Amino acid sequence: MRVHKLTIAAMALAAGLSLTACQNDDAGTDQGAAPPAASTASSSTGGSGSTGSDQQGGTDSEGKTPAGTGGSDGTGGTGGTDENGKAAKCRTDELEITAIDATVGGDDRGTVAVDLKNGGGRDCSLAGHAGVDLKTDSGTLSAERTGEPAPLVVLKDGERTTFGITYPINDSGGSGVRITGLVVTPPDETKSVTLDWPGGATLPVTDGSGTPVQVGPLGSAGQGG
């Protein structure tokens, strides 16, 4: 009887040890099956901070718009500014160009004032000297620059600027060189406009040593509104 009881006790002890071993194996398997939830979320966030946001929203890791990724600075996309936010240059087709005689009595030289009015519907800029050629019965005569400083002029729509052309008056009593037209090319442009010449009808005939025809910078003959 004692032998039988010891056998049953031994069997119970063996069963208990077997159950404990199985439980330890299950616990080891669960610990290695999947990483903690917090680690998984951290990895996902780190992967999208520098690529996903830039691709989808045009923003960097701090939520700001990087330069050149489509952010607006208030000047892009408008017709009146260049890439630096400055007024784009005036085109010949945007300007209304006229010329009048501006000679003052008693002057030893004649003056023609050329007016450039911005009619392009946007702000635009002009800088430098306009090109000026006189058409004559002896060929084309190009005006020389006076050498005065030529400031940048920004014209709002409807505003104007004026420059002057000076030329020698023909008081020789001879027929002189007859002027048949005035050709004006705005600064930095290649397209010209041809106008009637409003000044003296002729220039004195010279051997090239006389007073030249000259063109002043923008604003040199006054500026209208």
Q: Which residue has the higher pLDDT, 144 or 40?
A: 144
Residue 198 pLDDT exceeds 50: yes
pTM recorded for the entire structure: 0.62
What DSSP assignment string belongs to 82-124? -TTSSBPBPPGGGEEEEEEE-PPTT-SEEEEEEEEEE-SSS-E
Please tell me the chain's helix, strand, coil percentages from 3-state DSSP, rounded to the nearest 5: 25, 30, 50
Provide CB contacts within 8 A for 114, sequence distance 6+.
97, 98, 99, 130, 132, 162, 163, 164, 165, 182, 184, 221
Model confidence pLDDT, tens digit, residues 94-149? 999 999 999 998 888 999 999 999 999 999 999 989 999 999 999 999 999 998 99
Q: What confidence score (pLDDT) does residue 82 get?
A: 59
In this predicted structure, the answer to whether residue 17 has a pLDDT above a threshold of 60 is no
